[in-house]
Amino acid sequence: MKKLKGYLEWGGMKKDIIFLSLSGVMLVLSFFHVSVFSIDLAWIAILLCGLPIILEACIGLITEFDIKADVLVSMAFIASILIGQIFAAGEVAFIMQLGALLEDLTVQRAQQGLKHLLSLSPQTARRIRRINGRESEEIIPASDIKKGDKIRVFAGETIAADGMILYGKTSINQSAMTGESLPVDKKEMDEVYSGTINQFGIFDMEVTKETKDSSLQRMIQLVESADAGKAKIVRFADKFATWIVIIAVTSAILTWLVTGEIIRAVTILVVFCPCALVLATPTAIMAAIGNLTKYGILVKEGDALERMAKVTDMTFDKTGTLTYGKLSVLRIKSITDKMSDEDLFALLAAVESKSEHPIGKAVCDSFRLQESLKTKDNCPNVSAWEVLDFTMEPGKGVKGNVCGTTVFAGNEKVMAERKSEFLEKAVDHAADYVKSGCSLIYIEMNHVIIGYAALSDTMRKETPEMIQQLKKMKIEPILLTGDQKHAAKSIAAMAGIEQIYACCLPEDKLNKIRQKEEKEQYCCMVGDGINDAPALKQAYVGIAMGGIGSDIAVEAADIALTNDDILALPHLVALSRKMMQVIKINLTFSMGLNFIAIILAMTGILNPIVGALVHNAGSVLVISHSAVLLKWKKK
């Protein structure tokens, strides 16, 4: 049996296309009575297309007693050969293999998501040991890390294990685990997680969990469990294959017994073959996929569009999905008459120009953008002001000497510790920005607050329109984010989303999706980050942002937006629903045609060859109807 399966799998898609093309040419020649050494060329199609069908049917029956459409096709195929209808046999085999190839083309997908997840964790770690009172470092495989080990992490490195900082201060990019748009400042005794990235500086940490229990491994396990739990849609013809086989065989036997003509019985088996039924779904799916590629939508799994048509809820990650996923200065405000907002921006950019912190880099990028718009210069300098005696205090802020004056930029907590003047006034000014979830930087000169900058991840301009279109289509939008409540509520209010779940870890997102499904709500998840991968796998349909999104999110999803255009989502939903209408019409037509053909076969009006041609006509009509989807547009 293994050898038979090996034969079927040999060569993959290339072999199928070559065999199918050659069979098609041979059938055309056979139709015009071209032969070689008096051998009908339809035999080539029988060998190349028919033999695999018989083998597949035998494997299913022997190993699992699984009756599929292949069983009926094999019976009709063999019966046609036995009564000398070689062309009919070859034609039936060819059409069935064409349908199978179309299905294979629609359901192919890469299975590399877990490999990408595993590659996130570094292969080695820097373990610290004390030998004879002296500290030493040794490079060890990450898999050898044990609970209680002390390891050192350099700037830019990915943390190899879950643990607690023993020495040092830094800022950690935790988007892989939480999806937070901002890096998180860390100090002694704070927890850090595997798979997250050290932004700057060096710190020592103690490992608190074994590798198999780490955050990254839990993520892998979540993805695996979500994928295993996702049900697949069964092909229509296979779903009812057992009944089709029973009815076909019973009809053929009764017709033979009543009429005494075996050719009528064989014709019934031929016309009963679910050729058009097999083509009804994959042709519509392929046409819909062709349509979606024009909108930058990549469908990775064929039955995802069938599932998409049933979606009632659409959950969104915030950062990188509804927003651009990049910090920028939303507002710069001077609270003193001695300095304008523009000069304050230049001063802040000058001080932050030497900072390694992501917020400092965001300030400089925003300042450069503003200057380039004013000067039409693509590469403006950060600031003309020179900064001396620069220092950076992780978790607090930056300090430098500008034109003989000490300038400090930091958060509210550190300004309170420094007892800076006019802090309350600045905090009152910035209150609305704090409520909306912005990150605030207060600027101080000689212990006097002179202004503040509010930074935020900007919402995509098309988000509100997209949400409104989904609501009109009776789909409930839901925000599912790892960000804090203030930021989540602010974006949700601007987008028009009522249901909000903030501070969600990867397992929280996955569980929310599961809860929806337990209530028989078909839920679609749209996300971009590594932390979204489990939810994307679990969801009835997973959609990843293909441009800004991580490789893991794209691999975990069924569908990817290659250019991150979320305004294409309503078209995706509408087209999937239209596709299901086309499939239902195709199936109804196919079954109606089969019924009429069976009556004609029973009465002797149809013979096997004409019956096969009727199937051809039905298949052509099904394909033509499906092709309408190629140019369909949402009104």
Q: Do 540 and 313 meet the contact criterion of CB atoms below 8 Å apart?
A: no
d(CA 263, CA 614): 16
389 backbone φψ class: left, alpha, beta (φ>0; ψ -120 to 50): left
| Cβ(317)–Cβ(481) below 8 Å | yes
DSSP 596-623: HHHHHHHTTS--HHHHHHHHHHHHHHHH
The angle subtended at Cα 317 by Cα 316 and Cα 320, nearest 5°, is: 120
The CA distance from 415 to 423, in Å, is 7
Indicate if 341 belongs to the active site: no
Q: Can you tell me the distance from the alpha carbon of 489 to that of 414, in angstroms, rounded to the nearest whole number?
A: 26
Count how many Cα atoms sit within 13 Å of the Cα of residue 29 in the half-sphere of its side chain.
Answer: 17
SS3 per-residue string spanning 13-35 = HHHHHHHHHHHHHHHHHHHCCCE
371: burial class by Cβ within 10 Å (0-12, 13-18, 19+)? buried
Beta strand extents in 307-404 (DSSP E only): 313-316, 323-334, 387-393, 397-402
Helix, strand, coil % (nearest 5) of the chain? 55, 20, 25
Q: How many residues does the chain have?
A: 635
Q: Are 511 and 291 in contact (CB under 8 A)?
A: no
User: Of the listed 16, 149, 238, 317, which one is catalytic?
Assistant: 317
The residues assigned a catalytic role are: 317
